[in-house]
Amino acid sequence: MSPPAASPSRRHSGAAPPPVRRSATFASQPEPATLEVTRLGQVEYARALDLQADLVRRRAAGEIPDQLLLLEHPHVVTLGSSAHRDHVLASDVQLRERGIELFETGRGGDVTYHGPGQLVGYPILRLGPGRRDLHRYLRDLEEVLIRALAAFGVLAGRAQGLTGVWTEGRKIAAIGIRVSSGWVTSHGFALNVEPDLDYFANIIPCGIHGREVTSLAECVGGRVPMAAVEDDVVSAFAEVFAASPAHRPRREATHDARDRREIPTDPREDPVPRT
């Protein structure tokens, strides 16, 4: 039986927001920069890698403004630059039987699962001189998700010494990034909205032993519309990064990915070891 519908976000319910531990107040911000937001639905992991590589090249060349891709992946386990293969608990045969792809990828961090019901965000940003601090960028991504979760009445925060977003001791969002020469970002975050959490049993998430994962649906006790979560993530992203969102048609973005087959890679790209 399907779980009951979740309560509406605080904006619609009139409930007071819970106290949220926020990042330090930043210095005065410049005029908001354009952030093109594309909602892609479900995209195969390999296609998303190609699309990111193309957008990174175009952003570094100044051909496009900053981008935020929002999407879901089919079942896939990804290995970051500091991953240990023994953190994948299922064998290759078991993964195939369960319909789970396995990818080695250029992001930082350890092993992560992506699948339907999980909101994945790939910011393709050219970080300005005042933001060229990788730790600050990671904290900013965490802040985006903390604020988005607060809109649903979920009190989330950080865990000492760990990257990602947590609530009541359980991980609800993972972060793994890559920064190329020219300070252009790729990869990003994965927020558990309403995935099948049983799939996480195939891995040790982010290589962290003894920590459970959770989802927004589990926290609120009901189903949560993905579109509503996307809306709150975009709003929070605009606040934290002082950006002005411009929504791009889905068809336009997928057309770009199909039309650009040969994507150059930059050997100077620097994967950041965070998950």
Residues with active-site annotation: 206
Q: Which of 168, 139, 157 is nearest to 241 (CA)?
A: 139
SS3 211: coil
Helix residue ranges, H only, 29-173 = 45-60, 92-97, 134-150
Rg (CA), the chain: 18
List, in sequence order, every beta strand (DSSP E) within the chain: 33-42, 66-72, 76-79, 101-104, 111-114, 118-124, 157-159, 162-167, 170-180, 184-192, 243-248, 270-271
Q: Which of 79, 125, 122 is nearest to 100 (CA)?
A: 79
Give, for 152, the enclosing helix (H) or strand (E). Answer: none
* Inter-residue contact 138 to 175 (CB < 8 Å): yes
| Cα(258)–Cα(265) distance, integer angstroms | 17
* Inter-residue contact 263 to 48 (CB < 8 Å): no
| Cα(232)–Cα(187) distance, integer angstroms | 20
* CA dihedral of residues 66, 69, 70, 72 (deg, nearest 10): -160
* Inter-residue contact 67 to 55 (CB < 8 Å): yes
